[in-house]
C-alpha cells in the first residue's frame, strides 16, 4: 500500500468524523442543538482503487499525479460521500403550530406575491409541512403551472 492509500472503510469513518466535528465546530445560536446545523453536505474525490489484502484501498488522484504517471491503480473512480443529518429514533415528532390556511394567508399577503399576481394574474399556492425541518414549504405557480416562487416558512406563531 502506498503512502497515499487508505482502506475504504477507514476513509468513510474519517469522513464521517470530519463532518461531525465540522458540525460541532460551527458555533451554535442559543437554544439550537448541533444536530440541527448541517442538514446535508457532500464530499467528492477522484480516486484510484485497488484490492490490498482483501480490502478495497483508495488513493486520491490529483491532476498533477496523473500527469506525472504517479498513480497506477487497478481502476479509477469517483467516490461521493453524502452526509445527511437524520433525526434520532427517539425524537419527538413535530406537529405544526400553524395551520395550512394560516401559512397560505401569510404568503398571499406578501408584497412580492401581490405584485406578481398583478403581473401574472391568479396564482396557485400549495403548502406542505416538512416535519423533519419544522418548516412549511409553499410552492407558488401561475395559471400555466409555471413555478414562480418556492418559499420556506418557519413554523412559528407570531
Question: What is the average pLDDT across 60-64?
Answer: 75
Residue-wise pLDDT tens digits, 84-134:
766 555 545 568 889 999 999 999 999 999 999 999 999 999 999 988 778
Residue 75: pLDDT above 80? no
% of the chain exceeding 90 in pLDDT: 24
What average pLDDT does the chain have?
Answer: 79
The pLDDT score that the predictor gives to residue 88 is: 53
The pLDDT score that the predictor gives to residue 139 is: 93
Tell me the C-alpha to C-alpha distance, in Å, between residue 46 and each of 14, 61, 122: 17, 5, 49
Model pTM score? 0.43
The pLDDT score that the predictor gives to residue 107 is: 92
Residue 29: pLDDT above 60? no
Q: Each residue of 124-154: b (16+ CB within 10 Å) or e?
A: ebebebeeeeebbebebbbeeeeebbebebe
Q: What is the band of 76 on the pLDDT scale with cuts at 50, 70, 90?
A: confident
Amino acid at each position: 500500500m502506498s503512502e497515499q492509500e487508505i482502506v475504504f472503510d477507514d476513509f468513510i469513518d474519517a469522513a464521517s468524523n470530519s463532518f461531525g466535528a465540522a458540525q460541532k465546530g460551527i458555533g451554535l445560536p442559543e437554544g439550537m442543538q448541533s444536530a440541527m446545523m448541517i442538514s446535508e453536505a457532500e464530499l467528492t474525490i477522484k480516486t484510484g482503487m485497488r484490492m490490498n489484502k482483501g480490502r478495497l484501498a483508495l488513493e486520491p488522484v490529483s491532476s498533477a499525479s496523473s500527469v506525472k504517471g504517479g498513480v497506477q491503480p487497478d481502476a479509477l473512480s469517483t467516490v461521493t460521500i453524502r452526509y445527511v443529518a437524520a433525526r434520532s429514533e427517539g425524537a419527538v415528532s413535530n406537529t405544526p403550530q400553524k395551520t395550512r390556511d394560516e401559512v397560505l394567508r401569510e404568503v398571499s399577503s406578501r408584497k412580492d406575491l401581490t405584485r406578481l399576481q398583478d403581473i401574472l394574474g391568479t396564482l396557485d399556492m400549495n403548502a406542505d409541512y416538512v416535519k423533519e425541518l419544522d418548516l412549511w414549504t409553499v410552492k407558488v405557480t401561475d395559471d400555466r403551472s409555471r413555478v414562480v416562487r418556492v418559499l420556506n416558512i418557519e413554523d412559528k406563531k407570531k
